Amino acid sequence: MDQDLILKQTEDFVKQALAGESSGHDWWHIHRVYRLAIKIAKAEGADLFIVQLAALLHDIDDYKLVLDSDSDDPGRAREWLEQLKVSPELTDSVCQIITEMSFKGARVSSNVTTKEGMVVQDADRLDAIGAIGIARAFAYGGARGRLIHDPEVKPVQHTSFADYKKNTGPTINHFYEKMLLLKDLMNTPTGKQIAAMRHQFIEQFLDRFFKEWRGQW
């Protein structure tokens, strides 16, 4: 099995699949997660090839991008890996990571069961916080027609994935419903270290945002 060729073909497949995506889940999101996942995998001693494949394919079946899709059903990812004749064991490992890694609500527990899954989940969540995370949040909100902020609409701590998926609140609420929670949900020491810095930037942004919202200098 030529791992470099499989990764290159998978990269091309994902680029084509996400072409024109403007909600913050585009190819460059995948690229950043891929680089972070490699960095974390090396630091944490995870299987690099599994991590790389999962990082490249983690959004292919995401419900936010595919109509009627469910993040618990990585059908397109599995079909792609089978097309490449990747071993069933490796395919199962990658699909398990994709199934387990998505954020499903503030009060819904995570269920990542492998070191490789923890690495990819951390990398994906790191791209949801910090300066890039803020930019992506507003890109997604704009793409879905959401308000920036509405003081009369309060954040919700979702208790089920179904409720989380149906949420249509303003983008600022997303900071409290997900982004500010991610620092404490990191799995790996490397992920926790990076998350601490990015979390601090979110807090600084929100402080400035609400000062300007109130008309302060």
54-162-141-168 Cα dihedral, nearest 10 degrees: 180
pLDDT of residue 160: 80
**How far is 204 from 208, CA to CA, in rounded Å?**
6
Under 8 Å between Cβ of 156 and 167: yes
Which residue ranges form the domains of the chain, and what is each CATH number? Answer: 3-213 (1.10.3210.50)
Measure the CA–CA gap between 54 and 131, rounded to whole angstroms. Answer: 24
pLDDT of residue 124: 96
Query: Rounded to the nearest 5°, which phi and psi values hold at 101?
Result: -85, -20
Q: How far apart are CA 180 and CA 14, in angstroms?
A: 29
For residue 152, what are the contacts with CB-CB under 8 A and spacing of at least 6? none
pLDDT at 108: 67
Q: Token pair of 193, please?
A: 């270290």
d(Cα 206, Cα 138) in Å, to the nearest integer?
A: 13
Q: pLDDT 10s digit of each residue in the chain, 217 long?
A: 799 999 999 999 999 999 888 888 899 999 999 999 999 999 999 999 999 999 999 999 887 766 555 446 789 999 999 999 999 999 999 999 999 988 776 666 778 899 999 999 999 999 999 999 999 999 999 989 999 999 999 998 887 877 787 788 999 999 999 999 999 999 999 999 999 999 999 999 999 999 999 998 8
Task: Read off the tokens for 83.
Answer: 């097309």
Widest pairwise Cα distance in the chain: 60
Phi/psi region, residue 45 (left: phi>0; alpha: psi -120 to 50; beta: rest), is left
- Amino acid 1: pLDDT: 75
One DSSP character per residue, 107-138 reads TS-----SHHHHHHHHHHHHTTSHHHHHHHHH
CB atoms within 10 A of CB 114: 17
* Global confidence as pTM: 0.92
Residues 6+ apart with CB under 8 A from 23: 64, 65, 139, 140, 143, 144
Tell me how many degrees the CA angle 131-133-138 measures, rounded to the nearest 5: 100
